[in-house]
Structure 1
Amino acid sequence: MDSIRTWARVNSPWVIHFNSGSCNGCDIEILATLTPRYDLERFGVKLQGSPRHADVLICTGPVTRNARDRLVRIYNQMPDPKFVVVVGSCGLSGGVFHGSYNVMGGVDEVIPVDAYVPGCPPRPEAIIHGVVALLDSLKKKP
């Protein structure tokens, strides 16, 4: 039964996108990956509007004081097992906003992260590579 669950999880991940305070450069690139030109849906990825139906949280931007509680709430609303992909330099470390009075740092200081996609902003190909790398790692888990 576990192998069937893993197969379904890898072949049909539902994602939710959360912007924790970015400049929207990474958000535009994430939306570009969902268009027919790059077609992230060919890997079975579907964008969801509710965290209660999502398997993967794609997060962009540094975590601001205002967004911290919302990010934790969205993460807690997701059913287990849940996975987090951080897109962009700001989400990894705070980026150009690191050290600002309102920035708490990267996403991994607030919630656990499974995959990182560096860049400012990363190209759609890099985002696809990060999501596919996460899915490949899920295949290898027992």
Structure 2
Amino acid sequence: MGLVDRGRLPKPLTTLFNLGRSHSMWVYQWGLACCAIEMGAAFGSPRYDVMRLGVIPLPASPRQADLVVISGTVTDKMAPAIKRLYEQMPEPKYVISMGSCANCGGPYWDSYSVTKGVDQIIPVDVYVPGCPPRPEALLEGIVMLQQRIKNEDMGARWRGEGTKPMTVVDGESIEKGGVPVVVNN
């Protein structure tokens, strides 16, 4: 008996920790191809200002990152490096797969050297589809992940009980303010 009982924290503490974790995410950017330009626009441009969401881009190493955004074509030769990057991140760690190439291989899916999606290597929390997806779609994916973190049972995450991935639907409606979101059940 004590503060932590069977891997569970009291609800007020869980809420407080989750709020802090969701609004202080260090993001490691892993750009492999074209989508890295849109990722750079989302993280580096004052127009999108990810810092207002509590996202801190450019940690010095994966060992300081809470979230990795992988964009671009993942080749079989790059797969071990991505796996190593994921293993270096501290728990709890989150992954956003950005763009068609990172999600499913994109136009190069039938190549002998292309991995058919980053989820073949590491678990993915949010998929942001598009070729390339707009920076707004990436920001929507980050907001979706923050909502998931706020509602997360910390004990379940630490016990390794996985959650199902979410998908951001990119389209014209993002610019018009009504963002359609599909959550996989």
Q: What TM-score do the two structures reach when normalised by structure 2?
A: 0.72
Equivalent of residue 123 in structure 2, options 108, 112, 126: 112
What letter is aligned with 1:85?
A: I
What is the alpha-carbon distance in structure 1 between the residues aligned to residue 127 and residue 115 of structure 2? 18
Paired residues, number: 139
Decide which moves more: 68-77 or 6-15.
Answer: 6-15
What is the alpha-carbon distance in structure 2 between the residues aligned to residue 3 and residue 124 of structure 1? 29
- Listed as ranges, the gaps of 5+ residues in structure 2 are 1-12, 154-185
User: What RMSD over aligned residues (CA atoms) do the two structures have, in Å?
Assistant: 1.2
Equivalent of residue 27 in structure 1, options 36, 45, 48: 36
Following superposition, the deviation at residue 61 of structure 1 comes to 1.8
Q: Which has the higher helix share?
A: 1
- Of all paired residues, the percent bearing the same amino acid is 44
What is the alpha-carbon distance in structure 1 between the residues aligned to residue 118 and residue 60 of structure 2? 20
Q: What TM-score do the two structures reach when normalised by structure 1?
A: 0.93
What is the alpha-carbon distance in structure 2 between the residues aligned to residue 94 and residue 49 of structure 1? 28
Larger radius of gyration: 2
> What SS class does the counterpart of residue 77 from structure 2 fall into?
helix
- Listed as ranges, the gaps of 5+ residues in structure 1 are none
Q: Which runs of 4+ in 1 moved over 4 A?
A: none
Is the contact made by 1:90 and 1:106 (CA closer than 8 Å) also made in structure 2? yes
What is the alpha-carbon distance in structure 2 between the residues aligned to residue 120 and residue 141 of structure 1? 30
> What SS class does the counterpart of residue 65 from structure 1 fall into?
coil
